[in-house]
Structure 1
């Protein structure tokens, strides 16, 4: 019996992938200002990383102007942003690639400087992120997190509708699908977890109630796209942005079992060893594996991400723990990553100092292996 590998084909929703090397959604803070629309530099970046039958999950994009937590992030709520993303999508499609957009709202990970009129950011409950984590202002200054304002029950349908509108806008921009960002301590995960959700209405208290917001958002997005072009990202053992559930198993088992019958394109995990990897180098030891623990509860396509090499990715797929592997940091520095992994070419190290903000440096100036060989 031949086991699948990174370079076996895979059906994801209606799409046939030619390989299982997925580009993870990566915040890079290089959108045009002040429109926060993708610009030609972003088009070049994504086109460099597109491959025939390869899946790119484009960076997290707020569905509403109150959903930002960092400057220079592209949005998906204005006509300019839709037009900017359409150019990205067209460039990826011209290379034969498939591209989903990650829909985002940061909730309490925002700051009043991003909010109209300097209002407080919103969250399920008025619980601040602890001082060990730092917020970023709209000007890029590092400050303490503020205590957010708890959403009124009557406001929640409007937030769900913002996700629905973001999904419609992604469809207008020509994307092949969308991924709902339910990980890394942002708004959806704030509703999921007991430390950030102290509500007493139908969105708080029991696990079923805390999962309700995720389910309502997912169903709203499915209304736009159909289930087989919608993915969901979760980080059950994550600790990013002050997140973390004391015992994740009951909560995430319920969430995954609730999502499973919907027929989604995929479920996407962040492995716990890499939680918080966007802000620092981490490799948490002696932590559980999300893909191993939750795979038995998920009948669809499972993508996982977090510090994989070509060898460990191949092993995870061959063992049946995951169907595809999303790569982030090494996809930044290796625009031709699928080819490098297939041919066992050397991997170019990334430069963390150029991850966020800036121009070409550390963004579009990493050469492909064949270009390096000719230099």
Structure 2
């Protein structure tokens, strides 16, 4: 949402017409952000730099898969001024989300359970962060008057990790996520503004020679340090991809039904992660839900139970497709067979195909009966 005063800010004037105290304003801004619950607020220039060329190369290689919007909106990512005319500064924020609940390693080890990425267990982060960013902008506006700005939280074509890195919030890990000395369990948000606030210094990379995130990726989606092929990424396959999953990748998903955290779970820096904001407390028992129970949800159940959750946007078809794959990757129990059988005549051809694939997988695991 474009805010009032965009491009024509009313600048604060010190007594006697002195230059505004931008460093003092930046310090107060950071304090206000902490009062709103952000772990950190940092400031950087609205400049893309070499990251723009890396984005274009990634798109040229087709690594965005079916996410056509990535190519369509690339000009907006490369030129922040198209989103906020006259933008000079990007205010970046970090909000931890690691929830209390079932231990992720225990869920991954139990094939009867469905693994949901930790970020999606609680309330939809988009609204939480945007609302707090708006309050931060309102506080700033009350201090200095109208100015040009716009708030974002994964809600527009913004190179948020790059801006967070340039502002000194952290460094880019080899899995491409933003890393700090408290790990990577955090959401990011931004305010584009035309205020000339002083930029913070970048921080050093502290990954060293570690390649754990690359080595552990179930589908080998991290094809090189700082390079991810989305077409192989479990988050892409279970969330962004509409339609059939590549058959050769299905067995690699295990029981992951919405996203994947493996590259974060293995990261040494995440040993220092802090518990997240209460807004992201697990809902609907999704931190350790049985696949058979989730497969039994009607579409009305799904829509009601996923209200206010980021999971809701994938719809019931992808939800059941993902669960079918997870059931096929597990043991051939009566519980799994019954859950799949109940969806053989699903309204969606995609779901029916994945159910049939899963049933064939279970059949291969069934020991032969009868004597010699």
For normalisation by structure 1, the TM-score amounts to 0.25
TM-score, normalised to structure 2, is 0.25
Larger Rg: 2
Quick one: higher RCO (CA 8 Å, sep 6+), 1 or 2? 2
Whose helix proportion is higher, 1 or 2?
Answer: 2
